[in-house]
Structure 1
Amino acid sequence: MLRLFSAVFALLASVVAPAVAQEAPRSSECLAMSNAPPRATPVSLRQAAATTNEVAITYAGHSTYYIDTPGGLRIATDFSGTYTVGRLPDIVTMNRAHSTHYTLFPDPRIPHVLHGWGDDGAPEKIAQRIGDVYIRNVTTDIRRYFGEDSGGEMIRDGNSIFIFEVAGLCIGHLGHLHVKLDDSQFAAIGRLDIVMVPIDGTYTMSLNGISDITRRLRASVVLPMHRFMTPLDEFMRRIGQQFTIDVRSERTLTISRETLPGTPTVIILDGV
């Protein structure tokens, strides 16, 4: 009888296991790329590059960029509802620093609202596929802000670096970054093709600090944000001559994996 039960259990396991595997969340291809030996490229990324799917990135203002995916999704970063361009986004990400980076009352027609901070002091953990984009986060600490007795106190895991993986591109948004990143955080971020960095030099972090992070990430495209205080030439001087600069008169960058610049490039889109 015991032998019969074991055989039946093994048969059931062989039937159920594939279904469970299919339901498991897809892992990060950007992390796979960063941890793989040189020249190793996941098949799905090679296929995406071959089809030259393009992503449109529009600077709405402050720290809000809109990302339009080939599948028709629209993402808005550090969304407060103040900086809008075109139609309502399908996905919004937020950070807790202050009210220009989040709203507790987003338009109810937005189907996916992703907070970069957790509840009850727990870090927010995001790793989910929505349509043709895979979204994950890496948390960092932030300073307490207006209306609170900060005393230099930090809110643990109050900011999220969001990474959007779409059409073979790895797109990172550093959020309202206040602290230097450690090795474990760089490892968790993985490879980035495009990175959005705050360059105000005061409200987030020093220009030296953000410049060091930008150099280490070494993304093909750097998109400055929170750029209302710092002269761009000062940021460029600090990140070094290995980056080129491309100032554009339009607000939207249309790009694919195949059209990434060969030299790390800071692209300045129109807007403030």
Structure 2
Amino acid sequence: MTREVPGDKLDYRHWEGAVAFRLFSGGDQPTLTVAEQIAVAIGDRIISGALAPRERILEEELATAFNVSRGPVRDAIRILEREGLVTILPRRGAVVTDLAAHEVREIFEIRAGLLEIVARKVADVRDPELLALLRAGVARLQRLAEMKDDQGAYAETSYRLSILSVRACGNQRLTRMLVALSLQTLRYAKLSLASAQRRKRSASVWTEALALLEAGDTEGYARKVRQRVDESGAEAARQLDRPTSADSAAARQPSTKAAT
């Protein structure tokens, strides 16, 4: 669920969880199917970290938990596979997709280039409704950046503002390409924005970008949007490149090979 923050000028409670927001943004139906509802529940657990990378997703357990047959569960898993949250392995079944530094570099390189195009389109139009959403959203980001523990709300708010900007750009093919990457991007963004220092830096760039958009500086706004995406991707990759405690322990183990 979306976290309420004192001082919000918009009612963020009507914005569904991240996966529902993504599925609603890509379809015309007013409600979600049973399979989509299951995908939302599982997907939100993946994005929150409740389901860890490489953790198995068991069809039978989910069918029992949701009181459905295995058919809708399989359909839900396929939805999550399409969104990049689940990987289906031969003879093992579905597992939560791992996070990898090489993938984050590839995804954010693509995302930065596409969002730069979106930024120029948005700046050329400067739709008043979108500007109002961005003002309220950036103000929310500033408040969340000051919190010691935002519980992931900063990354989810940034995610929603990006999706809203993409949908306002007027290019449906571009929108589909970026929305298709959105949930994978959100997992990495949460990793990148885990520290208060990073959130404050990101909020500063969002604020500077909004000022440039308000001033009609198309190129300046596009540069700031790209800077924000590049910095987020670089930090996520840096976090994933760091050796784990298990790696460090293995490196400290003395060699068992006989001396030569």
The structure where helix makes up a greater share of residues is: 2
TM-score tier, shorter chain, comes to under 0.3
Give the TM-score of the pair, scaled to structure 2: 0.25
**Higher strand proportion (structure 1 or 2):** 1
Taking structure 1 as the reference length, the TM-score comes to: 0.24
